[in-house]
Amino acid sequence: MIARQLVGRGPDVWTIFALGAIACLAAEVLSPANAAGAIVAGGPVLLFLAALFVFAGALERSGALDHLAEWMLRRAARPESLPAYVFVGFGLAAAVIVNDALILIAIPILYGIGRRLRIDPKPLLLTAAFAVTVGSTLTPMGNPQNLLISVASGLRTPVVTFLVYLSVPVAVSLAAGAWYVRRAFGPAFSSARETHAQIRRVPVPLWPKGGWAGRLRRAPVLAIFPATMALLVALDLASSLVGTPDVAVWVPVAAGAVLLLAVSPGRAPIARAVDLRILALFAGLFVVVAATVSAGVIGALESLLPIAGPSQPTAGVLGIVGTSLVGSQLFSNVPWVGLQIPILASAGYGAGTPIAWLALAAGSTLAGNVTLLGAASNLILVERAERLGISIRLVEFVRYALPLAAISIGVTVVALLVGL
């Protein structure tokens, strides 16, 4: 994984972990039964992630995000303001749509907008990459590593916990990021003022009037997705405030995805939106992590990279965030989180220490705005942009991303320390 990250090429991440899992079995580090048990134990993560991909695929087919982009294009009074609208819009969307799927949807939409404005679309693509990293920090649904932490950490009400501690830093980061991308990229859009003025003459309302009965029949995701997200938050709030029985975070999302597939016309393309490579990555990761625990590797890593325990909360938060920012560049954020969960658990962190888990989630996620190597969504962006003839270099990415990363990481660390 480290070699692949450093040279920027090599086997897919899921292939590496599949081969790693096979090697663990071949070397008898883990028995087939224990490997199967590790995958079964991680089943809720796989189901949750598959359900989110189903929703993302249905939203893409419905044209909802394309419509949102068209609305943002016309909402901006001048084209120089468009990066700020894209940053906030896709940042908010990333809180409820897993960021890897969202960036896949965003790339052709923003590329098309750039072509229509007759400008280089690269600034819009970079803006979207920065936005989905910041926005996905907010909820367990935002990215795979948050999802893994939410299920494996034992947090009773993960959605509410993320919102309580991370709403303020994410809101500040989105506001600061909108201002920053407007300053950094806005001047490149000044040449599109005449074209943008012509486009704005044809209004696009955020909520189209009339025809909703037919629209919902063609795309039931427009009702089922927000209803599912509302139910998820309501169940978490009820458990937190009233003490109702806990409902695992993946259950309502998986149920909503099943309902969506049952009632949607043309459900086969929606089902094909599930990224089997990501699911294979997680399955391999579960086996490799189980093997590292069984063989004592986690204990060795603890001695090399000691993390302060719950008795030293400030040092713990700083250590977790710091190592996550570095480790995610070497391993990518999902594998890093998979390795860190058993280390934190053995150090004494559990359901009663939510801030430590949020530090791991935020540090590993915001690492995506440090370099291209820190997040899978960045690698997806580079690969898809190259297909469109757009080259995004590491130095170029870091030049624009690092100031934003410094702001969001600083604000988040302060918020977590205040939360202690």
Q: Examine the pLDDT at 283 and tell me if it is beyond 70.
A: yes
State how far the Cα of 4 lies from the Cα of 2, in Å rounded to an integer. 5
State how far the Cα of 143 lies from the Cα of 177, in Å rounded to an integer. 19
State how far the Cα of 180 lies from the Cα of 239, in Å rounded to an integer. 39
Q: How many helices (H) and strands (E) does the chain have?
A: 22, 0
State how far the Cα of 242 lies from the Cα of 244, in Å rounded to an integer. 6
CB atoms within 10 A of CB 121: 19
> What digits encode the pLDDT tens for the residues 386-411?
888 898 888 899 999 999 999 999 99
Contact status, residue 82 vs residue 72, Cβ threshold 8 Å: yes
State how far the Cα of 85 lies from the Cα of 91, in Å rounded to an integer. 10
- For the chain, how long is the longest CA-to-CA vector? 67
What the block records as the tokens of 265 is 């016309």
**What is the DSSP track for 298-345?**
HHHHHHHS----TTSHHHHHHHHHHHHHHHHHHH-HHHHHHHHHHHHH
> What is the enclosing helix (H) or strand (E) of 36?
helix 32-41
pTM score of the predicted model = 0.87
Percentages (nearest 5) of helix, strand, coil residues in the chain: 80, 0, 20
**252 vs 327 pLDDT, higher one:** 252
Contact status, residue 195 vs residue 116, Cβ threshold 8 Å: yes
Residue given tokens 């910041």 in the structure block: 134
Residue given tokens 């134990």 in the structure block: 41
* Amino acid at the residue 83: P
Give the pLDDT band of residue 330 (cuts 50, 70, 90): confident
> What digits encode the pLDDT tens for the residues 348-383?
999 999 999 999 999 999 999 999 878 888 888 887
State how far the Cα of 19 lies from the Cα of 134, in Å rounded to an integer. 32
What percent of the chain is predicted at pLDDT more than 70?
97
* Amino acid at the residue 366: L
> What digits encode the pLDDT tens for the residues 226-250?
999 999 999 999 988 888 888 888 9
Contact status, residue 69 vs residue 110, Cβ threshold 8 Å: yes
